[in-house]
Amino acid sequence: MSDVVQTGQEVIQAYLKTLDGSPGVYRMLNTKGEVLYVGKARNLKARVSNYARDYGHSARIARMVYETASMMFLTTRTETEALLLEQNLIKQLKPRYNVLLRDDKSFPNILITKDHPFPQIKKHRGKKTEKGSYFGPFASGGAVTRTLNQLQKVFLLRNCTDSMFEGRTRPCLQYQIKRCAAPCVGKVDGPTYAALVQDAELFLQGKTTAVQADLAKQMSTASEAMEFERAASLRDRIKALTQVQQSQGINPRGVEQADVIALHLDHGQACVQVFFIRAHQSWGNRDFYPKTGAGAEEPEIMEAFIAQFYDDKEPPPLILLSHPVENPDLVGQLLSERAGRKVELAVPLRGEKAELLENAARNARESLARRMSESSTQNTLLRGLAEAFDLDAPPARIEVYDNAHIQGSDAVGGMIVAGAEGFVKSQYRKFNIKSAAGANSDDFGMMREVMTRRFERLLKEDPDRKSDAWPDLLLIDGGAGQISAVAGILADLGVEDIAVVGVAKGIDRDAGKEEFHRTGLPVMALPRNDPVLYFIQRLRDEAHRWANGAHRAKRAKAVSITPLDDIPGVGALRKRALLAHFGSAKAVSRAGVPDLMAVGGISQAMAEAIYNFFNP
């Protein structure tokens, strides 16, 4: 077996006899069958023959070739298909020597709905299935919220749900603070509200000058007609519009719609900053820290990042880059096919576009410096944690568990994850407690259920522990009882090599007096001013916050459930209409068939079915 590893070039050379000049994807595997690298090629034979040479390789490629014990191949019709397949396999397999984008969260948009006479403006994340006009992406939910707050001041569009709209009998607080025109109670007619919607869409399309000029004209007309209250309202709207334009930060005149992507690489660590320019406005930025594949250089990192970043996002017409990609024509063709129109990749050297990139590059450089500093501190804390609890090595993945419920109702278990890079929020999980333990307020039983579900699934999905989803340390909110329950579950599943520590409140339940429980060992504590103690407190508090948030969400959802949900044929629309008409499910249960038929969408047969449900 060792001979195979030492003669990597010879192993690769043997595959050349079976290859032709077709485009496709290749995988390089080590002696354990683990995928080391996934690559694409316009000509598989030519690409693989490069690896078979014993010269001209970078240190990274030489190490990869040295470890290669076997290869796998998939041919495709075109090189574009190969690029697409390559990125899908990289995301799925996470090879050590590939560049991998680790943060693939969706980006929020602003949605103006079009399925109601008085459209709603709101934040939207996910697939664009709802009918309406979408504007985005924005870099974060906070950026959308700030923009929405300002837009409501300017354009007075409603943000309430349709069911709330239908049930209003008097204006809500939004109208009182001048953030809504109150169409729900007839304070504004349809054509006037439609004009507000149109102005909002023009603004979000970047046509702010026309909107501002129109508002100024309306204010002047109102003043001349001595309608001073209306003129003052228009003045406030113009002021709010000015504020929203200022809050956008960089507002490039020569760039209407583009993504600005800048990369900074330092000692094998990379930061990519993405700025979103839409309608001549900056809609925020987001930083990413891709895994650099054990020493990849800027063009390869940039190409992999772009291909993976736009896997589930629509690219804009123009993408400004700080570094060229390895295959610009191929990447441009792939993005153009995804967008259904031409997408241009550019590396500007002067002018406004170059200034945008310089700003993004500076942010990337500063963000990476901060992250490297934080990572150094985090590694120190992890080493201290290993020393405090006699672990063999600093834990790469810590899982922290907590339960939340109110006297057994709406019980939820929460799991958070932390590691060398801090909290890994994409790995957080919540568990709706399904057993009787929740109803019985049995904390030990709830923890047993959470642990059983977590590790049974982990054993099913990754029995050989090849992924990084396996924890090195479990922190449990609780004392000896919880630790005993967890240890019993892990032993039953055959998982006995993961350290488990219980974090109990200790004397007087004061922060700083925590006690730590471990199976078969005496209770211990840490000095009150120990940084490791503060670190554990942060982990526990984050788990508590996550579990409580999941519990509140579940409780809020349960509050909205009514007996109407159990009536066959009564879906969301009919339920909304019944509640809007009668005011409550209780009132619906008391209604007669003629009263029920007075509700839109309720036929005689449906009215009888509803009546019979409540009056069997």
152/199 Cα distance (integer angstroms): 12
Note whether 446 and 403 are within 8 A (CB).
Answer: yes
Q: What is the pLDDT of residue 557?
A: 66
Work out the number of other CB atoms within 10 angstroms of the CB of residue 367. Answer: 18
Q: What is the pLDDT of residue 365?
A: 92
Tokens of 331: 């990447």
Q: What is the pLDDT of residue 2?
A: 44
Q: What is the pLDDT of residue 4?
A: 41
What's the N-to-C CA distance of the chain in angstroms?
A: 76
Note whether 502 and 517 are within 8 A (CB).
Answer: yes
429/22 Cα distance (integer angstroms): 43
370/372 Cα distance (integer angstroms): 6
Q: What is the pLDDT of residue 511?
A: 59
Measuring CA to CA, which residue among 59, 62, 60 is closest to residue 12? 62
69/32 Cα distance (integer angstroms): 9
Query: Residue 429 class from Cβ within 10 Å (0-12 exposed, 13-18 middle, 19+ buried)?
Result: middle
By three-state DSSP, how is residue 404 classified?
strand
The full set of domains in the chain, from first to last, is 2-97 (3.40.1440.10), 109-247 (no CATH), 257-369 (3.30.420.10), 397-551 (3.30.420.340), 563-614 (1.10.150.20)
Q: What is the pLDDT of residue 401?
A: 93
Note whether 490 and 500 are within 8 A (CB).
Answer: yes
If the chain, 616 residues long, is cut into consecutive pieces of 10 residues, what is the mean pLDDT of each piece?
Answer: 58 90 93 91 93 86 91 92 91 90 79 92 88 86 82 86 86 88 91 89 74 74 76 70 54 83 91 89 87 86 92 90 93 91 93 92 90 85 93 94 74 91 89 77 83 92 85 91 88 90 75 82 88 91 89 69 77 81 81 86 89 84
Q: What is the pLDDT of residue 5?
A: 47
**Residue 476: which H helix or E strand, with range?**
strand 473-477
Tokens of 71: 């290869």
Q: Say which amino acid occupies 459.
A: L
Tokens 């023009």 correspond to 202
Beta strands in 297-441 (DSSP E): 318-321, 344-346, 397-406, 409-419, 422-423, 429-432
Note whether 299 and 316 are within 8 A (CB).
Answer: no
Whether the full predicted model's pTM is greater than 0.75, yes or no, is: no
3-class SS string, 298-314: HHHHHHHHHHHHCCCCC
Task: Write the CB contacts of 464 (distance below 8 Å, at least 6 apart in sequence).
Answer: none
Rounded to 10 degrees, the C-alpha dihedral 434/440/444/445 comes to -30
158/174 Cα distance (integer angstroms): 8
